[in-house]
Amino acid sequence: MIKEIAETIERDGPLPLARAMALAANHYYATREPFGTTGDFVTSPEISQIFGELVGLFFADLWARAGSPSPFLLVEAGPGRGTLMADMLRACRHALPAFAEAAQLHLIEQSPRLRAIQQRAFPSAIFHERLDTLPTDAPLLFVANEFLDALPLTQFERTDLGWALRAVTADGWDLSTPANIQLVPEEIRDAVPGSVYERNFAAETLVAGVARRIAAQGGAALIIDYGYSGPALGDTLQSIHHGQFADVLQTLGEADISAHVDFTAMARAARPHATVYGPIDQGVLLLALGIRARADRLRAAASIETRAEIEAAVARLTSPGSMGRLFQALAFTAPGWPQPSGFPTSTR
C-alpha cells in the first residue's frame, strides 16, 4: 500500500473502498507504465491493430448513416497509450476521409503522464479530466475500452448484522459502517454472511452522463470492458502486478486495480436517455464487424511468423475461452440515430 493511502487511513480512519481505489488509480497511472508486454496488462487494442480498425469503421459507418454531421466530437475516455484511437483514425482516414476530417478529438484522461504521451500522438486533441467540460454544441461519438473497470468501486458485504460498506484499513477490511439497504437489490439481500455485492456508482454516473449528452447533442457510444450481467454476488476486485494477480490491499497504488463491470447496471444507466444495444460478447461483435475478412487481408501480405501472430491475436480477441466472452460490448445512440452495425436490435 502506498504511503499516501496509509497516511490517509491513519488520519481519517477506515477508507471507503471507492475512495481508496480513486487514490490508488491516480497514483498508479501517474507513476507507472502498465501497458504492453513488460507492463501489468495487455488490452485488446494492444493485442491487434484490427481491434481499433474495426471500432473506427463501426463509428464511421454509423456517422455516415446518420447523415455525416460535421463537425462532431470524437471522444475517448481513458486512452492509455492512444493505440485504440490511432488505429481508429488510420482506418477511417483510409476508408472514409470525410469522417476523420469532421472529427474534433477530445480525450478524457486523468493521468498527466499518459496525457503527455497522448498529446504527442494527437497534437490537436483537447484534454479533459471529466465529461463535464466537453463542448455541448456538436454530436458526440464516445468510445471507452477498459475504462469503467478502473473507476472507483463500492463493495457491500453481508455480515451477521446486515449489509456493511467495505472500507480499507492498514491491516485489512473494515465492516463497521452499515450500508444503505436500499442500494442492495431485494433478490440478494438474504445472502449468507461473507457475500459481497458490488456497485460502481462512478461508472453508472459516467454512462448516464454520456447518454444524457448524446440525447441532447446527437451521437452514439461504444463501451467495451470485462464484465457480467448483474445483479450478482461476488468480489471481482483484482490487482495485477507485473502480469500476475496480487493481494489488493497490499499492492494498493502500486498495481493495476480494477473490477468487473456490471453491464446490466450500465445499460440501466443509459436507458432513460438513449437507445441501448447489447450488451453482447466482444467476440460476437468483432466477428460481426468483419474481423475474419480483415485478418485474412493482413495475413495475405504478411510473413509466415506474422501470419501465425495475426491468427493468435484474432483467437485471443474472439474465442469464448479467451477474451471473446469475458469482454462485453454495449452501445447506445441518440433517439433518431440509426442502429449501430454488429449489434442485434435495441434492448429497450
Q: Which residues bind ligand SAH (CB under 6 A)?
A: 25, 29, 43, 45-46, 78-80, 83-84, 108-111, 114, 145-147, 150-151
Q: ∠27-32-36 over CA atoms, to 5°?
A: 135
Q: Is 40 helix (H, G, I), strand (E, B) or coil?
A: coil
Which residues neighbour 35 within 8 Å (Cβ) at sequence distance 6 or greater?
41, 42, 43, 46, 80, 81, 83
State the burial class of residue 6 (Cβ atoms within 10 Å of its Cβ: 0-12, 13-18, 19+): middle
C-alpha span between 78 and 185 (Å, rounded): 30
Place of cell 496488462: 41
CB of 335 to ligand SAH, least distance (A): 28
Q: How many residues does the chain have?
A: 348
Which residues neighbour 155 within 8 Å (Cβ) at sequence distance 6 or greater?
17, 165, 166, 196, 197, 198, 235, 237
Q: If we measure between CA atoms, which residue out of 235, 233, 323, 229 comes closest to residue 267? A: 229
CB of 111 to ligand SAH, least distance (A): 4
CB of 66 to ligand SAH, least distance (A): 24
CB of 9 to ligand SAH, least distance (A): 21
CB of 188 to ligand SAH, least distance (A): 27
CB of 85 to ligand SAH, least distance (A): 9
